[in-house]
Amino acid sequence: MPTDREDIVEALRTIIDPELYIDIWTLGLIYEITLKEEHTEVDVKMTFTSPACPAGPQLVDQVRQKIEALDGIEQARVQVVFDPPWEPSEDLKAMMGLL
């Protein structure tokens, strides 16, 4: 069976933000996942917690590597966007003790 969106989400859940110690999916850093070419190519739009995130390049590399390690995926392209700017959800704020 070809890799699907849920497989990709599960892979992304294994990538931990090194500053907040929460996975990038739960943080809401992944804005869009698009499977193309019979599920062999994946485009991802993601953001960082801040435009100056020192771990940004490391996170992008991890996203690409985790997705390309999935069965049948030949290429993952990651586009970093800052519009809309990242804003933690109310649930996330509560989880982080910010409420």
Does residue 28 contact residue 9 with C-beta atoms inside 8 Å?
A: no
Q: Tell me: the pLDDT tens digits for 7-46?
A: 999 999 999 999 999 999 999 999 999 999 788 999 999 9
**Residue 25 identity (one-letter amino acid):** W
pLDDT band at 1 (very low <50, low <70, confident <90, very high): low
Structural domains for the chain: 5-80 (3.30.300.130)
Q: Does the predicted model carry a pTM greater than 0.85?
A: yes
Q: Tell me: the pLDDT tens digits for 68-95?
A: 999 999 999 999 999 999 998 898 888 8
- Position 2 scores a pLDDT of 64
Question: From CA 21, how far away is CA 15, in angstroms rounded?
Answer: 9
pLDDT band at 98 (very low <50, low <70, confident <90, very high): confident
